[in-house]
Amino acid sequence: MVEDESLDVKDIHRDISQVLTDGDQRAVSATIPQLLKLPADTQQTLLRKLETVAQVEPAVLEPAVPTLEAVLSGGDRSVRLTAVKVLATIAATQPNAVADLSSTLTDALSDDFYYVRGRAAQALGHVAETAPEAVDTTTIIARLLNALSLDRTETRHYVSEALCRISFGDPAPLRTMTSDIAEHLSDEEDLVRYYLTTTLAVVATAEPIYVAAVEPELRDRLDDDVPFVRGRAAETLGLIARADPDAVEEATESLLACREDGQFVATRATFALHQLDESPPEFDEEIGTYETIVTETPSIVEEITSPDSDETSCPQCGQTFGEAHPPMCPGCGRPLI
């Protein structure tokens, strides 16, 4: 009996590996559910192959989504992590394929493994950006804001990204949460500060009065170390000023100084000063629009996260980290200390 079980595992492993190599959606649909019959270590090996396929041709894996949901709902944490990473990768380009899993992904925001929580947030953000009606936005926002207070540095950027993508999909649910978001504008992570400032900017394109309450926190970001955060803060202040100039009056001096900054900051400071009637030069009319903020964000994120000389990498899977690396590789689960 043991030999038969061993043979069955090898057969399933071979069959799944083959359909992933072939890239046949119908074969994936028929074969991938057998993954649930395998032991955790074999599941993990095959899930990593699914992750590789998802990065190159995510549409092939759409039929595998129900199986990935089942894996995410049980199993050990390294298997759950790889499953949710595959789902997040699929969601990045095929969000509708993952939309039906929004409830399971929302539950995963409470997973006992922080990396699972982070990747679940990332997947939900992609879904919420494209299909906001498919997610329980109220519950998700509450859990994400809680995670900003409690979760580790290694996952907060996924959480802030999700909030930002929610605003891209529909900023309205975030309009009463601006004070909660602003509490984290001084986060130690550059990317978190950028995503949260951008979230407030998007809300301000539609509901500037709701963002006016956090003018002091935004004004503080005009001195941020990251120019993209400084510029986005200036832009948000300009959006507030367009609705209520008096709410931004105290930022005038700092905004005037920002006009001597680099182009990204200077153009947005000019936009803000125009709203305050400080007689600056004409501003770029694309500044302060929802479309521009959304369109330019991917390239800004890429620049903020571009590798530098201080990075190290996981010896097992090659994923890179900063000098202050996490205790466990989020790519493969290998301990790093």
Give the whole-angstrom CA distance, residue 168 versus residue 181: 15
> What count of residues does the chain have?
337
Distance of CA 59 to the CA centre of its chain: 20
The residue-averaged pLDDT of 18-27 equals 65
Contact yes or no for 147/155 (Cβ under 8 A): yes
The residue-averaged pLDDT of 273-301 equals 85
> Alpha helix locations (H) across 135-289?
137-150, 153-169, 178-182, 190-206, 208-211, 215-220, 227-243, 252-258, 263-275
Query: Which three-class secondary structure state does DSSP give residue 228?
Result: helix
- Which of the pair, 262 or 313, is modelled with greater confidence? 262
User: pLDDT tens for residues 165-212?
Assistant: 999 999 999 999 999 999 999 999 999 999 999 999 999 999 999 999
Hunting for tokens 């109220």 — which residue is that? 138
Which amino acid is residue 249, in one-letter code? E
- pLDDT-wise least confident of 31-35, 267-271, 300-304, 324-328: 324-328
The crossing angle, in degrees rounded to 10, of helices 137-150 and 153-169 is 150
Residue 7 confidence class, pLDDT cut points 50, 70, 90: very low
Closest CA to 122 of 108, 136, 142, 133: 108
Give the whole-angstrom CA distance, residue 299 versus residue 20: 31
The residue-averaged pLDDT of 215-238 equals 96
- Domain boundaries of the chain, sorted by first residue: 205-326
Query: DSSP assignment, residue 317?
Result: T
